[in-house]
Amino acid sequence: MPHSDSPYLAEGPHVGIRHFTYEDGAEFTARVRESKELHHPWLFPPDSAGAYTAYAGRLIEDPSKAGFLVCEKREEGAVAGFVNINNIVEGGFQCGALGYGAFAHAAGRGLMREGLDLVVGYAFRAMRLHRLEINVQPGNAASIALARRCGFRLEGFSPKMIFIDGAWRDHERWAITTEMRASGGSSRRRG
């Protein structure tokens, strides 16, 4: 848990999570440009000031979305990646869909695993969500491994689900619930 003077909503040994701000634009877009090869063909985060402002604005102002930056504690808050909760539905559903990406300098260091786990915990506690879903293209082995390490289970396959990079792409559906996380099952395994 964060200290009272911490800039983070939640923190672990190596990273903390905090909400996006408009002021993060320069660092975020520079990291995106450095990470184009890592991200292609899976995701296309904003790489210009104008695109970032629009993107961050949706995450900051739209109540059906929440955006989190995963920041390295030892690097004075350097942004290592991001996790967004989209399509948040309250009421009887209490669910959201996750999207995430690591930046090249942080890839393969376990920072996104820790960050995603912090976002899941925050979503279940502070946001009172019950279920989180991840839709991932079957060929994205790194993203599938991350979902699995954070305790998500494979629930199904959706052909031609999301339009990405000029085509409708198949996706696997992964999910976790508060009960799965509380049971300690696969969400507590270190992979």
Which DSSP state fits 62?
-
Nearest to 115 by CA among 189, 8, 28, 7: 8
67-113 residue pLDDT tens: 999 999 887 789 999 999 999 999 999 999 999 999 999 999 999 99
**Residue 3, in any domain of the structure:** no
CA separation for the pair 140, 172 (Å, rounded): 10
pLDDT digits (tens, 9 = 90+) for 146-186: 999 999 999 999 999 989 888 999 999 999 999 999 887 54
Distance CA 124, CA 119 (A): 9
**Number of compact structural domains in the chain:** 1
Which CATH number covers residue 75? 3.40.630.30
Is residue 148 in some structural domain? yes
